[in-house]
Structure 1
């Protein structure tokens, strides 16, 4: 989920190069919604045929991105579950 990916970005050094296709998709969504600034590799080949982007570089989390993080972490019912999911995802991505 892109918002969990956004939460994980606050704990890494930026800029961050992303190569996993799932993460590139998350970056694309977060960039489109204005929650991060990122550069995404072109998604078309030399013939103009569409291909999924293979890499992206997250430059920074925007003010709106930090506001969304604070909103997620300050909702009492969701806070513990959200933090738990982010930690689990960070652990699993560190293992891969």
Structure 2
């Protein structure tokens, strides 16, 4: 669900990269509705099991923060993200 993904985004340091196909779709919906700023790129597939799209979420917009405020007190997600050298993070 894109709104629960938006809630997860507020608990991570942005920008963050997203490679999971379902999460890339969430980013696409949130970007189209103006709730986040993001870039979606198409990658050259290295194997048949690797996702061909990746998204970089840059920030949550003011409209996105207003939508989060409407959701009320939602507990923070328990899922973590991986941090690589040079500050890159992958959700």
- TM-score norm. by structure 2 comes to 0.72
Q: CA RMSD in A?
A: 2.2
User: Where in structure 2 are there 5+ consecutive unaligned residues?
Assistant: 45-50, 82-91
Structure 1 residue runs of 4+, over 6 Å off? none
Structure whose alpha-carbon radius of gyration is higher: 1
Instruction: Note if 1:72 corresponds to 2:59.
Output: no
Matches of residues 1-96 of structure 1 in structure 2 within 5 Å? 1-42=1-42, 54-73=53-72, 79=73, 83-84=74-75, 87=77, 90-91=78-79
- TM-score norm. by structure 1 comes to 0.68
Q: Which has more strand, going by share of residues?
A: 2
Question: Relative contact order (alpha carbons < 8 A, sep ≥ 6): 1 or 2 greater?
Answer: 2
User: Where in structure 1 are there 5+ consecutive unaligned residues?
Assistant: 46-51, 74-78
Q: Which has more helix, going by share of residues?
A: 1
